[in-house]
Amino acid sequence: MEATLNASDFRSLYDAHVAFVWRNLRRLGVAPSDVEDRVQEVFVVAHRRLADYEERGHGPRAWLFQIVLRVASEWRRHKRRHPEDADGGVAQDLGHTEPEQADLIARRERLDQLDAALSALDVDKRAVLVLHEIEEMTAPEIAESLAIPVNTVYSRLRVARQQLENNLRMQDRKSGVNLQRAAIRVIVGGAR
């Protein structure tokens, strides 16, 4: 990548980073039904700010992630003001129904678990965890992406891992309780 980006690089930038933008919007809480629109927004903003981009040795991911953070933050603010869709979310669910293949369903379930556990983390810690564990960024890269000191990256990462672990345990406990309740309902129903 050149030191600066111009319009002719834009398609290449899109192709190389659309999955990165998509993934991180999702992990930062943007709903599946809205993620396409938010990806577009990120790249429209990126296009508008091409002139501001400066290569600092980490490629454009850090720069794009800053836009992703802002777009995701605006989306969350919008959702807080307008929490429900008029249709109750039916279009969202159906619009993103993939072919019912076992591996796809299993992967989606894992992503749902991860997103549920991540959603309990505050955005600062979530961003560090996602960039490190999923995007495999180094601490200096993350520090640049989030405009924070490297030591802060390490401390947030440590706390985020601990919180994620706790959240996943809590999920397990809840699903265990739900299974117990379901079993009791079946047993009681059978006795009647």
Partner 1 sequence: MSQIEQDRQRDLFEAAKLDGPSEASRDAMWTSIQGATASGIGTAAALKATGVASSKLALGIALGATLTVGIAATVVALTRPATMGSPRTSERIAPRSLEHVTRNVDAPPPVIVTGRAVVQQAPQMSVDLDQKPAREQASAPATRTGTTTMSEHDRLAREARMVSEARGALHRGEPETALRIVRAARAQAGARLVPEELTVEAQALRAMGDEDGAKRAEADLAGKFPEQALSH
Residue 97 per-residue DSSP state = P
User: Does residue 7 belong to the site contacting partner 1 (CB under 8 A)?
Assistant: yes
User: Does residue 154 belong to the site contacting partner 1 (CB under 8 A)?
Assistant: no
Please report how close the Cβ of residue 167 comes to partner 1 at its closest, in angstroms: 11
Determine if residue 9 is left, alpha or beta; phi over 0 gives left, psi from -120 to 50 gives alpha, anything else beta: alpha
User: Does residue 107 belong to the site contacting partner 1 (CB under 8 A)?
Assistant: yes
CA distance 79 to 30: 9
CA distance 39 to 41: 5
Evaluate whether 156 touches 125 at the Cβ level (below 8 Å).
yes
CA distance 97 to 105: 10
Q: Binding string, 128-147, against partner 1, x = CB under 8 A?
A: --x--xx-------------
Query: Residues binding partner 1: what is the number (CB under 8 A)?
Result: 43
Please report how close the Cβ of residue 187 comes to partner 1 at its closest, in angstroms: 27
Tokens of 187: 């047993």
Contact residues for partner 1, defined by CB under 8 A: 6-8, 10-12, 14-15, 18-19, 22-23, 26-27, 35-36, 39-40, 43-44, 47-48, 86-88, 90-91, 94-95, 97, 107, 110-111, 113-114, 117, 130, 133-134, 164-165, 168-169
